[in-house]
Chains A and B, each alone.
Chain A
Amino acid sequence: MEDPILKTVNVTKIYNQGKQNEVVPVRNASLTVEEGTAVVLQGPSGSGKTTLLSMIGCQIKPTYGEIVVKGKQVSKLPEKFANLHKREHIGFVFQQFHLISDLSVLDNIILPLLPSGIPPGERKCRAEELLEEFELMPRKQFKVKDLSGGEQQRVAICRSLINGCSLLLADEPTAHLDGQLTIEFLKYMTHLKEKGYTILIASHDPAVFKNGMVDRIIEMNSGEIVS
């Protein structure tokens, strides 16, 4: 069998270790995700979903444990190399989208490509392909702050995909969307899954984890994986 695209072994995150205010948002989390599947991390807020997802997305380092993404042990890498791996293989959609609001849609989308030194022509080409795919072409030159919530999320998705990653992580993607937009979002996710992306979503929205495209649900509670 092929190696899983993502594997975590006993991942633990401790903030303020050894101090009075020690917090352990994630404890001994082990999971594997196979290539091409869609998995939902489900659990109430405060259950550690976001922290675990952030560790997988190389945003923060685990205190203990191993994380292997695309065959590379990322948990111990120095920041520079973790970022390099992240830049090449992982797309991350934040709950708050985290777009730079006074930049245009196009400029926002190409941001992840700047450190790689990809020529401007190719950057634009890749961005326009994605804009086409996510029906944002008419909004190309708009400032992000002038877009609606749903559009902003689509921009955020485009930005996470532009590096040609194969693993897409999304943190509470439907928290700021109404029912109609949630359906639309899931439609896009289904489309991406069909294209071969591996998708890992942290969500407590039933509309998400009950959706047909989801292959597996991993339940978390108080920092531990329950099932």
Chain B
Amino acid sequence: MILNPWILTMLTGHAALFFVFSLATINAWWIFSGWDFTSSSEKQYGLEKRTYLVSSVMNLTLIIQMLMLFLLVMAADELAKILPGAMCATGSLSSNKYGFPLLMIKIGSFFIYFVWWVLNYLDNQLEDYPLVRKKYLALVCIFPVMISETILLLLFAVNLNPTVIASCCGSIYNESSAGLGGTMAGSSPLMTLTLFFGVVSIVLIWHMIENIRGYRPTKKKGGLEALLWVFLFVTALLTVISFISTYIYEMLSHKCPFCLLKAEYNYIGVPLYFFLFLATATGLTKGVLQWMGAEGPLGEKAIWLRRRLGQMSIFSLLVYIVVGYSPFIIYYIRTGRTI
């Protein structure tokens, strides 16, 4: 354990997050177990009021989680200065075995909160709150994710040891090194690019087909769409490591998904990841909405919402591509060759 400003800040922020989320979970449980729409009792009225508390708390949770995700990467980057051998965030995150799982669970929980947040929004548009019990049950079920995140964060913080030499991104995202990072960087840019743009084309074609009259959305298609977006997210990260980063750093050997968030590279990673996350979150949610297969007025509202989400995801995806690939295009125009 190191008493470092960044670690303490992360713990403070997470404590706040954990506190509000627990508050939401307890209230969600009360609402789930006591909800009776037909009743006009004081109790039901009180529960209705609690739904507002849960909604506000979840809005806050989503915002805090977004900040915390950012903070984790920044903190890891700063910690690299203290951990011998670590050059950037990669080094700190891999300095003990909890770093990367923590990052992954943070990314995952962000998407989960986002889906829940949209469902909550959808449900609140309808007078009889058709999803009310389901969504609060879902919230209670998400709580273990939050608990595991908390445990991982604590383990990560406690096991940060400045006397153990960490590896730097040069050695982790190095083709010759074993492990996930090495495999990710070692995969040829051509292959990852083909995969990524393959998925992007499927997504775009899918989007166009949906707008054709007579298209019948089914539950299965919705689930498939959600999975497709998850896959797109992964391939997009792969291309960042194996292709995009080389053109941002303009160094063949420097392949790191974190360094591009730094001031040295004009914070280009910030818009890049923001739009990637937004695209994935909205696209994923769109798939999940269809997979739920709502009917009646809820279904109508869901169709409207899915259209909005679809537009947003495609737009963000395109922005991501423009932001991510312009360094390559600029480099190509300037030098007439690839790296």
Contact = CB atoms under 8 A, between A and B. Distances in A.
Contact of A17 (B42, B48, B127, B129): B42
B127 to A, nearest CB: 5
A80 B124 contact: yes
Contacts, number: 17
A81 B127 contact: yes
A64 B40 contact: yes
Interface in A38-62: 61-62
B42 A78 contact: no
A77 interface: yes
A32 interface: no
Nearest to B124: A80
Max chain B C-beta neighbours (<10 A), residue from A64, A78, A80, A81: A78
Q: Which of B38, B42, B45 has the most chain A CB within a 10 Å cutoff?
A: B42
B40 A62 contact: yes
B41 interface: yes
Nearest to B45: A61
Contact of B41 (A17, A62, A76, A78): A17
A77 B127 contact: yes
Interface residues of A, number: 11
Contact of B40 (A63, A79, A80): A63
Interface in A72-111: 76-81
A78 B129 contact: yes
Contacts of A61: 40, 45
Nearest to A60: B45
A145 B120 CA distance: 42
Contacts of A77: 127
A92 B277 CA distance: 47
Interface of B: 37-38, 40-42, 45, 48, 124, 127, 129
17 contacts: A17-B41, A17-B42, A61-B40, A61-B45, A62-B40, A63-B40, A64-B40, A76-B37, A76-B38, A76-B40, A77-B127, A78-B48, A78-B127, A78-B129, A79-B48, A80-B124, A81-B127
